[in-house]
Amino acid sequence: MTSGPRKINQVDNDLAIVWLDAKKSKESSNVDYLNRSIDFSTLISHIHVFDDVDQCCEYLLSKDQADKVLLIVSGSIGEKVLPCIHDITQIIGVYIFCNDVEKHREWAGTFSKVRDVFRCPKKLIERIQRDAQLLVHHIIPTNIFSFQNLQQTSLQNVDQDQSTYMWFQLLIDVLNRLPLSHSSRGDLIDESMQYYSNNTIEKRKIAEFNEKYLSSNEAVQWYTRDCFLYRLINRAFRTRDIDSIFKFRYFIHDLQHQLDHLHQEQQLSSVLPTTAYRGQIIGADELKKLQNNVGGIFCVNSFWSATTASQVATSFNMISLGRPYYERVIFEVTMELKQQPDKAKSKYPFANISHLSCNEDEGEVLFSMGCTFRIILVEQFSDEIWYVQLSLLDDSSSIDESLREYYLANRIEEQSSLLTMAYFFDQAGDYERAKRYCQMLLRENPSEDDSIDIHTSLALFEYRIGNFEAAKREGELALKLHLTQKVVDNRLSDIYANLGLVMAELGEYRDAIAYQHESVKIDELVLDEEDEEKAITYENLGMSYHGLGDYPNALKWCEEKALSHMQKYLPASHPGFQRIYLDIGMIYTSMGDYPVARGWLEKALDKAHSILPPLHKDLGNTFYNLGLLCEKTGEDEQGLNYFRQALNIALQSEKEDTTIDLAYIYVSMGAIYDNQGEFDEALRHYELALENLSVDKPEHRQHFATAYNNIGFVHIQQKKYKSALSYLQKAFKIVEKYLPRTHELYTLTLANIGQVYVAQDRLEEALECYRQVIDIRRRTLPKYHKDLAAIYDHLGEAYFKKGIFKTAIDYHKKALEIEVHVLPLEHPSIKSTCKMLADVYKRIGNRKAAIKCYKEPILMARMCQKINSSLPSVDPKRKKNMI
């Protein structure tokens, strides 16, 4: 038996054939017959052959939702397995291949996806070929979303489909402005030749194109020809494969240019079509989405062809591919023609191309990639066909495109570059691809001046990925190259800013602050007041202060400077707002001001949902920080829910930059399980965190220390003090060497070591640890901070064991005073402090006070709250900053 699928062609595709048959897969002649009879690589790039049902089902379930599968199955196996797999979304057609057609046709007729039952291989192949051609034509990437009130809705209120739409539109803008070169044509030829390496006919057409294609005036003719260009370009857009789209930029640019020209020409001659039709098969779920979004937006992420002749659309051979999964649809598109200034380009050009098309008799109309339509009407036309009316949105539509316009004016301009592409991949959270496109430029022997820009960008992308040592090397190389020029400009500011980011991640916060201050100085000298780089530099400096534990300065630079600058000069839909909301929320969390922190973090989450792609790292970071906040406020289940969402993004991203993210998340989930007393589950998560870290990476040091500290804390609760002290000392060895004394992890580890000493009756050593911690925390934290309460409780516990009961009571009361000020009354920390107070009262014989603390901790907390009611919960300066 085979251990898995036998690939006949190695090139992957989103449309595949799966053949499941224990007998036939052993008889290679049947497989060979399929390969000899039709070169499937013109439509489908490979066949997966299985002789094991479980392995086949596992493969089918592993396919992406966008993938489409045509399944060939024998009669005997099909009768058993189809009830289990028929409803898998990716399966769109089933073909029964058997000896007894009549016997198997009887049961096969009960399954809507079964196309037919075959005995003759030739007829099976013909049917699969016909269906595959139909599917390749109809699998069109689209976005459908609600914009019920276009006059009032802006992109900051949109969902993930709309953010995907926005980033795709920006990608098109960058792509269309890339300068063409000999290498761009070579990329197209090489990619096509590689894809059709086993197809003599298509290779001949590729060679013909390479020899004879001379001008963009021939683009439409080649695109409408039955050849590699239409298939591969549409496949690239259909699969949203950005790298493939980039490789075909040469022809996409020409096709878009010719379409722009034809649109202007036909508009001047008043011959632009006003109505077009398209016959198509769509999934039932997509139809439902259209029905639910009448008045909303339908965006096509590729070139889209239609016809001026309705009879051509309705006569299209749209054989049903199995209701209720697929439906036949006729689109009617209306295009309102408005006069435009001479030579002004339409945002969404379209033209009648019948005089140029290889399909001359179809009255073909071609719409440019990214065309956006309003959904006017969706209704059932007949038992077999649905009717969808669309209206092309023109330049005067009221969709808020302030972010696109801002980027066009400030980042893309008239001509873009690979660095511009890399910048937008960075903005979209695709850091590995940003790095790869940047590295392409290094292979072109750039000038020294260009090398500065390239290495500066690479430093940023390596930082985003988490390769901090590599980021440092790139930044230092950029600085070395720049210093030879002996000029002060914004590029030098960027270099210092990137080095500052890296040093902060490596725990060198004072160096980080020094670099960021240099960056701020240069920006003030050389940048215009409205430049967004100023806000980014302010934010970087603020977060360096945050790492150092200097929260007042962190707020000054992030909230007072960076946010104010953004609100004054950037469009509301700019991604920078999401990051600054997140950073301010993190600062307030560190300060212990949890209500204010929650407001900022929830605002960051709303912004992330509206403007970021669904797997963007900043969305994951927002979930993570909301989880941390919930862990601190005792909302354990909500915290776990946020952490799981962050974990899902990290696991789905399939990039190399997730190891530190995973370590953070596993540690934080472990802390919640620890809070809940589930010590085995906590330890399991800490071990998962350690598995994602490497001792060879300096940037992982802090995360090792965090995991060791937390494992040590679990062992304290399990009364395994020797093991606890071992882990805590490993943690402290790292933090003492690499982190500033003001860092939260430094004081936390020292406090935990103090707890072990108390348990071991090494009370003077414990008190020395606590004195160091309280000295640091009093200098760096606000008066009312949860971490100050924790160290007061530890001190109370130590003095209780020493028999100095009045001092113990004083410290526990100080802790309770802080806790009622910053925590919900039901928080476990308040109950814990009341229990410690009760233990002391019981020891000194104050039975009444002890019982009250034991039995009525919330009442005790309320009494403490009344005593402190004259204290403001938020000082006036901070109150105005609440959201």
What's the whole-number average pLDDT of the chain? 84
Which pLDDT belongs to residue 323?
A: 64
More confident residue, 64 or 272: 272
Do the domain assignments include residue 466? Answer: no
Residues 165 and 102 in one domain: no
Q: What is the pLDDT of residue 417?
A: 84
Backbone angles phi, psi at 119, to 5 degrees: -115, -30
What average pLDDT does this structure show over 454-483? Answer: 94
**Domain check: are 157 and 66 in the same one?**
no
Contact 191, 203 (CB under 8 A): no
Q: Do 277 and 382 have their domain in common?
A: yes
Taking Cα atoms as reference points, which of 160, 178, 611 lies closest to residue 427? 611
State the total domains in the chain.
3
Q: Same domain for 200 and 225?
A: yes
pLDDT band, very low/low/confident/very high, at 154 (cuts 50, 70, 90)? very low
Q: Are residues 110 and 219 in the same domain?
A: no
Kindly report the CATH number assigned to the domain that includes residue 838: 1.25.40.10
3-class DSSP assignment, residue 402: helix
Given a contact cutoff of 8 angstroms between Cβ atoms, the answer to whether 304 and 364 are in contact is no
Stronger pLDDT, 279 or 879, i.e. the higher one:
279
Q: Are residues 249 and 345 in the same domain?
A: yes
CA distance 578 to 407: 17
Contacts of 770 (CB under 8 A, 6+ apart): 751, 754, 791, 794, 795, 798
Q: Answer for the pair 817, 856: CB distance below 8 angstroms, yes or no.
A: no
Cα gap 672→640, rounded to integer Å: 7
- Decide if pLDDT at 827 tops 90: no
Task: Give the rounded percent of residues in the chain with a pLDDT score beyond 90.
Answer: 47
Structure-model confidence comparison of residues 403 and 530, the more confident one: 530
User: Could you give the CA distance from residue 402 to residue 499 in angstroms, rounded to a whole number?
Assistant: 32
Alpha-carbon separation of residue 376 from 152, 680, 766 (angstroms): 18, 57, 73
Say whether the peptide bond before residue 324 is cis (omega within 30 degrees of 0).
Answer: yes
What is the per-residue pLDDT for 871? 38
- Both 375 and 357 in one domain: the answer is yes
Mean pLDDT of the region 797-812:
94
- DSSP letter string, 243-279: HHHHHTHHHHHHHHHHHHHHHHHHHHTT---SEEEEE
Which residues are bridge partners to 304 per DSSP? 367
Type of residue at 161:
D
* Inside any domain, residue 543: no
pLDDT at 507: 81
Q: Are both 71 and 127 inside the same structural domain?
A: yes
What confidence category does residue 183 fall into, taking pLDDT thresholds of 50, 70 and 90? confident
Q: What ranges in 559-614 are assigned the alpha helix state H?
A: 564-569, 575-591, 594-611
What count of Cα atoms within 13 Å lies in the side-chain half-sphere of residue 606?
Answer: 12
DSSP letter, residue 410: I
DSSP H or E run through 47 = strand 47-50
Q: What is the pTM of this model?
A: 0.75
Establish if 11 belongs to a structural domain. Answer: yes
Asked whether residue 352 is domain-assigned, the answer is yes
Domain boundary among 404, 431, 464: 404
**Whether 171 and 86 share a structural domain:** no
Q: What pLDDT shows up at residue 658? A: 65
Residue 581 belongs to a domain: no
Residue 51 has pLDDT above 90, yes or no: no
User: Maximum CA pair distance of the chain?
Assistant: 102
Yes or no: say if 626 and 433 are a contact pair by the CB < 8 Å rule: no
In a domain, 89, yes or no: yes
Residue 480 placed within a domain: no
Q: What is the predicted pLDDT for the residue at 141?
A: 64
Q: What is the DSSP string of 647-677?
A: HHHHHHS-SGGGHHHHHHHHHHHHHHHHHTT
Across the beta sheet with 142-145, what order do the strands follow? 142-145, 297-300, 372-380, 385-392, 326-334, 275-283, 304-307, 364-367, 350-352
Residues 118 and 163 in one domain: no
Helix 721-738 and helix 744-759, axial crossing angle in degrees, nearest 10 = 150
Q: What is the CATH number of the domain that holds 364?
A: 3.90.176.10
Mapping DSSP to helix (H, G, I), strand (E, B) and coil, where does residue 693 land?
coil
Angle at 498 between CA 493 and CA 502, to 5 degrees: 145
Choose one of 359, 386, 404: the last residue of a domain.
404
Tell me the DSSP string of 512-574. Answer: HHHHHHHHHHHHHHHS-TT-HHHHHHHHHHHHHHHHHT-HHHHHIIIIIIIIHHHHHHS-TT-
pLDDT at 653: 72
Task: Name which of 202-206, 427-431, 645-649, 664-668 the model is least confident about.
Answer: 427-431
Residue where one domain finishes, among candidates 138, 167, 182: 138
If asked whether residues 92 and 123 sit together in one domain, one would say yes
Range of the domain at 95: 6-138
pLDDT at 683 over 80: yes
If pLDDT is split at 50, 70 and 90, which confidence band does 526 have? Answer: very high
Which tens digits make up the pLDDT trace of 29-39? 555 445 444 44
In a domain, residue 537? The reply is no
CATH assignment of the domain containing 15: 3.40.50.2300
pLDDT digit string, tens, across residues 842-883 = 999 999 888 888 877 666 666 655 444 433 333 333 333 333
Q: Which residue, 727, 711, 731, 628, is CA-closest to 672?
A: 628
Measure the CA–CA gap between 582 and 542, rounded to whole angstroms. Answer: 13
The pLDDT of residue 325 is 67
**What does DSSP assign to residue 148?**
S
Give residue-wise pLDDT tens across range 76-96.
Answer: 888 888 988 888 878 888 999
pLDDT higher than threshold 50 for residue 5: no
Q: What pLDDT was estimated at residue 408?
A: 79
> Tens digit of pLDDT for each residue in 359-369?
777 789 999 98
pLDDT band at 150 (very low <50, low <70, confident <90, very high): very low
| Averaged pLDDT, 496-520 | 93
> Do 351 and 302 share a structural domain?
yes
